[in-house]
Structures are given as C-alpha cells and as structure tokens.
Chains A and B, each alone.
Chain A
Amino acid sequence: MREYLNENTLFATVAMYVQETSALVLVVEGDDDHLVLKHHCSSDLRLIAGVGGREQVLRAATLASRRNLNGVRFLVDRDYDDYTFSDNEYEQNVCVSRGHDLFMDLLSGNPALLRRVIDVHSASVRRRPKESHLPVPDPTSIEQEALELASRLAAVRIVNVRRNLSLDFKRFSFGALNVRDFDTRVIAAMIMERSGYGPEQTAEVVQDSAQVFEEIQGRHDATVGDHDLFSALARVLRRYEVLVRDDVLHRSFIIGVDCAALIAADWFREIQRWCARNNRKGFTCREGTLAA
C-alpha cells in the first residue's frame, strides 16, 4: 500500500492536519525517528511519520514551501549529501541532521548511550568468560571497533554516491563477514561483485574506497549510518560470543535516548526555537534535565 502514498498525499495529510489544530507539526522520515521523539514531544508538537523515506519527505517539504504552508517542519537525515559534490539546498522548513542521521547526532550528543547498550548486552558473557572465547573488551573498545568496521562500509557508500554507481548494498551483510575480512578493500570488492561490476571498475572502486576510508577516519558521526553501525556492532559483539541482533541493539538504543542526547542536537534546538517563536512548547526536554 505504501507505494500509493506519495509526497502529495503526505503533504495533503500534513496540510489538513496543520489547518485544523493549534499544534505545530513535525514530519519525520519514518517509524524509528517517530519512536525516538514521540516520548519527548509536548501536546503542542505533533509528529507525523512519512512512509516513503527521505526523498518523499523532502518533496513534501518543497510542496509545503511552495504553497506557503506554515506550522510544519520536516526533519530529515543528511545522509551523504555532503559527499555528492552537488549544491544541496534544503527548503527553509527542513531541519537536517548535522551528522549522517538523527541517531548518529544523538550518539555524538551523548556518547555514553551506545556504551551503555553494549555494556548491558555483553554483561552476561563478560561475567562468565570461557577459555575458548576471546575476552570481552570494555564497551568503549567495542564501540570503536564497530565504528571502524562501519566506516569501511561507509567509505564504499561514499564512493557509490560520488560515482553514481547504484551499488546493491542489500546484498552485503556484516553478518557473513569473517574477522580477517574486516577490510575496506575486501568489503568494496564483495559489493562490486554482487552488484554485477567487472574487474576493471572493481579495482578502481576498491582503491578509491580504501582512500576514502583513510580520509574519513575520526569522522564517524558524519559518515557512518545508524543501520550500518548497529549491524557492525552486532558482528563485532559476535566475535566475542555476545549474540545479539542488530535490530535489538537499535531498539535498546532508542529506549536509552534521553534529554541530554536530544538537547545536544542542532536540529532539536532549531525546532525548539521555531516552537518558541510560535508560542508553543515543542519538546518537553529542557536544558539541565536528564530525562523527559
């Protein structure tokens, strides 16, 4: 059914809602963003989740802007917009994540969040170590290992965007990757092969990806996507016999999101200012609060 809901129906839904309510409306990309934010919204700020992804939300924002629909903001992930060499101009009613996506912004806003998730899920294995298993490192080390692994895939994604390759990333999974293959070149080669590219172009992309990986070192929040991070984290944890699925890690992170993480995000403050200009409360989090 989702294919029959488009930017026009999303815009019409938002417009019909905004016109009949005294609340402001924040449109987010999907269910996960909705889940994170809904417990932190006052009754002055209503959330609507788009169903067609970022591009649909952005097109609906353009329709709203052209038709002068006030009372609504559209919150989207930046993704790899900064790497496309194109002049990405967002409508004035669009709030964009500073990093790759909203989750990465929350992660950088409160780094302790992900470490708590790792700690909770690895605790039982850490308490009962087995000789045959690798010792479980501390959560910070695991986090760094996961971020580095996810960055290797991020490098390939950036090359994909820059070269407009339309690579099929769905056919790649960290779960099937051996530890010895935690390597940008290996990952790039696998994705190229599974996307039907020949050896010549593969060699170029492999080389390019390795170079990009070096360039983006230390800029995880801007380059790593949340889904890649949780997939990489699940794979790294499995290395230490901590068996937990990526979606479970993702959910755990959502549960843990607190006001400290939200308040640190640029888009959060931008939305709060917009709500204040309209004499509305917006989010319930306030500076200095720990939880909503």
Chain B
Amino acid sequence: MNQIVLRLVTASAERVLGEYDHSFSIPPNDEFVILYGPNGVGKTKFLEIIDALTRLSGFALSSLPFESAELTYSDGSVLSVMRLAVSNEDRAELAEPSFSVRFSLKRPGCDPFAWDYEDDGFNDMVRKSLPYEQITEFLWQDPNDGETLHIDELRARFAHRIKKREQNTPQELEDFVKLVPSFLIETQRLRIEQFALQSASSRFGSARSSRKPRSRITEQAEKIRTLLNGAQTEHSRITQQLDRTFPNRVLGSTPRDLDSDSIRERYNSQNDFRSRLGRVASVALDDELSLPQGELEGWELKLLNIYLDDANQKLAPFVDLLTKIELLENIVNARLLNKQLQVTDGEGLSVHHTATGRPIALDSLSSGEQHEIILMIDLLFNVPRGAVVLVDEPEISLHVVWQVSFIPDVRRIAELAGFRFVVATHSPQIINDEWDRAIRLGPPEAAFS
C-alpha cells in the first residue's frame, strides 16, 4: 500500500541533560543535516529522543534526560512530548524519580490530541525485585545463568506483581507515526542485538531461553539472502501465473502500433538486466533468444511484445533489489583493500581476497569494514522509504578516507532508497565541504573578533 510519508521539517528538544536546548531544521528540498558539538551536550540523546518520539516509545522517553521535544512535519503537523515527574506514594521508596510522558499531536484541520503514557512501574519492579539486568531497550538478562528475555516475556510472567495495567497506544497516534518513520543507527553498530531464542531442556523448563549471539554482519548477510529468496519466490509465482495464460493472451491480443526498433531495444535492455541479475541470483532465467535479422513481421511483434511485457512483470521483484545490491557492492568495494564483497542468493554476502580468491569469513573483517558494510546495508535495505535516518557518529572505526566519502555515499543511497538523514559527528572529515549544512549543538561560543 502506498502511504503518504510526511517529511520532518524541524526538531527541537528542551533541557536535554537538564541544561541544553537543541534544535535543527531540514529545508523542505534538502536531504540532510549535520549536527556537531562538544562532548557532553547530548547529541546522542537528542537523536534518541527524536527516534523514541516517532516510535511513541513512552518507556524510552520516560528514561531519557529532557523536558520536552517537538517535531514538525511538511504538512504542518506537530508531534510533541513532555516528560513529567510523577508523584506516586506507592513508589516513594524508589531512589530515582519516576516520569510520565505526555504525547501531543496537532494536525492541520483536526483538533489537538494528547495522550499520557505513564510508566506502570514494571521495569522498576524487575530491577528491584528480580535478578534481571537491562541490556538493551527491550532485552533483560539474568547474569546468574545468562537467560535473556524480551520485556514482553517478562511481562507475561511477572505483570501480576504490579498494580497498574499497561496502556494501549491510541490508534490516532499509531496511525500518524506510520507516516513519519525514523531509523536510528547507533554508534555501537556491531553490537550483538539478535538473540536466537531456543527452547532448552533444562531445569528451567521450556520457558527458559538460552542466548545464542549472532554477529550483526552475519545477520545482515542473512537479511540479504532472505530478500533475494523472497524476490525469487515472487518471481516464480508471477511466472507461473503468466505462463498459464500466455497462449490465450497471445491468441486474444489485438494488433497494436509496434515497431521492430522499440521491440529490439526493450529486448536488449531486458537481456542486460538478466545478465546483471544472473550474477547475484540463481533464478531460472529464460535462455537468450536471438531475434531474427531485419524487419519483424506483425505476428512476431505482437508475440514479442506480450513476451516482453510478461518478462517485465516477472523481473519486477528484482528491479529495486538489484539496484540496491549493485550500489552496495559499488560503495563497499571502492573502500575495501584487497578484498571484494559479493552478494549472492546462497550466502547473502561473501567476501574474497582479490588476488587469490580466498574466501574471507565475514566475522574476520576488521571492525571498520564491518561498520561500513553494516551501515550501508542498514541504509539500503532496512530503512523504510520516506524515513528520517539518524546516524550517530559514523566516523567510529572509519579511516579518514572513508570518512570523507561518507556523506557523498549516503546521499547516493538516500536518493535511491528515499530517505533523509541527520548525522551527529565529531569529525571534520565527515563534514568536509558540507559546513553550510552543519549545525552546532552546545553552549554559547566565546565572542571573538
């Protein structure tokens, strides 16, 4: 379903870390903005606030250090949030103050709408009464035995221990945030975030889960493989459907104004695409048919026209995917030294030594190489179209040459994948010739002449 996506125009947050007011705007026809500033002014927190607000993550916002934040969009909509201290006698024993979060939405032509997310105290209860420690926004781990549970699993088990009930997010807000997706790329891109939850026959029973970490780059390879396999499945489905009706459509077609040159042009263009696709996917492609020399007869034109229309439909699932894959290979291979990245439907990603052809395990790539590949795959394949991408300190582990290329590369990807981006950085090399798009966050500067 094609959904209208709104563009983020301005973002602001007040009293980040208790003392800094941050804001930026992205001109409507611009693609990105760069944020820089000294350590300790809350650049990362600002990105996290924007991301949590566009995901309506009341839990995340309740624990982020700020007072209020506001996002405005291209149609004039304003999504805002306030973080309010909660006075709760039931929880007076807690050392840290508790916060509720009030979301507000103003849309042109609609009445303003507000919703209070109030922390039900479940996380505090887990922290205080259970052995689990929080390791990500949603994952908790028991350090005694390594058991890792999602917050939903914990709730299923222990929600009865708290008095309040979890609230449901209003549909109106849910519908709005689908129009304003965001995608946060954190500094710790290599962190193991995926946990394969496997049933383990242990004294803890089937509900106990063991933690099986997979590296991010392996996960990304699997993601690419899944996308290619999905496209192949779709290709097969379309092929079966079209092949079944092909004779009838040929016999029933009415003559159209067709000429040999345009048919040959389309035919050659499709063959080019097939040969590009054949490099990454082992999809069953029709053998190349050599067209007869000279002017084509009317019946030949009619037949070939339907054949080419069908082929277009069959190949459609690969079009965007192949373009992205080629851009990924193009960007990454321009960076790797003596190594070549290749995308295949068998392995997803594979890397070989350029001179010897020796395969190189993905996990054995340097952290800088892994950072680059993971980041590019995230941007190309994981970011929803129309999203605002928030990239935190992309310079980490990147050689200065790669840093200088970063913004131009992401712009190429953004153009293809259809997103805008915000980069928080400390690197002059990342900023390079884009100073006019760089916005400083931090206390007032000293006034010099």
Contacts and interface: CB of A to CB of B under 8 A. Distances in A.
A67 B434 CA distance: 12
Contact of A8 (B38, B433, B442): B433
Nearest to A7: B433
Contacts of B432: 6, 8-9, 12
Given A16-B428, A20-B38, A9 B404 contact: yes
A278 B449 contact: yes
A125 interface: no
A131 B370 CA distance: 70
Contacts of B445: 18-20
A42 interface: no
B435 A20 contact: no
B431 interface: yes
Interface string A261-285: 0000000000000100110000000
A4 B401 contact: yes
A258 B213 CA distance: 62
Given A4-B429, A8-B432, A19 B440 contact: yes
A18 B38 CA distance: 11
Interface string A10-21: 111101101111
A122 to B, nearest CB: 44
B36 interface: yes
Contacts of B361: none
Contacts of A72: 448
B400 A13 contact: no
A71 B431 CA distance: 20
A1 interface: yes
Interface in B389-445: 400-401, 404, 426, 428-429, 431-433, 435, 438, 440, 442, 445
A24 B445 CA distance: 12
Interface residues of B, number: 21
Nearest to B428: A12
B446 interface: yes
Nearest to A69: B448
A70 interface: yes
Interface residues of A, number: 26
A277 B449 CA distance: 8
B38 to A, nearest CB: 5
B442 A9 contact: no
A5 interface: yes
A70 B401 CA distance: 29
B435 A70 contact: no
Contacts of B428: 9-13, 16
Nearest to B41: A20
Contacts of A84: none
A173 interface: no
B229 to A, nearest CB: 39
B212 to A, nearest CB: 40
Interface string B262-301: 0000000000000000000000000000000000000000
A90 to B, nearest CB: 17
Given A11-B435, A16-B36, A5 B448 contact: no
A12 B401 contact: no
A8 B408 CA distance: 14
B426 to A, nearest CB: 8
B433 A18 contact: no
A12 B428 CA distance: 5
Contacts of A37: none
Nearest to B442: A20
A22 interface: yes
A190 interface: no
Contacts of B401: 1, 4
B237 to A, nearest CB: 48
B448 A9 contact: no
Contact of A278 (B37, B426, B435, B448): B448
Contacts of A13: 428
Contacts of A63: 435
Interface of B: 36-38, 400-401, 404, 426, 428-429, 431-433, 435, 438, 440, 442, 445-449
Given A8-B431, A9-B432, 20 more contacts: A1-B400, A4-B401, A4-B429, A5-B429, A6-B433, A8-B432, A9-B429, A10-B428, A12-B428, A12-B429, A12-B431, A12-B435, A16-B426, A18-B445, A20-B442, A70-B448, A71-B446, A71-B448, A274-B449, A278-B448
What 5 A-B pairs have minimum CB-CB distances, sorted nearest first? A71-B448, A12-B428, A70-B448, A8-B433, A13-B428
29 contacts: A4-B400, A4-B401, A4-B404, A5-B400, A6-B432, A6-B433, A8-B431, A8-B432, A8-B433, A9-B428, A9-B429, A11-B435, A12-B429, A12-B431, A12-B435, A16-B36, A19-B440, A20-B37, A20-B38, A20-B442, A20-B445, A21-B446, A24-B448, A63-B435, A70-B448, A70-B449, A71-B446, A71-B448, A72-B448
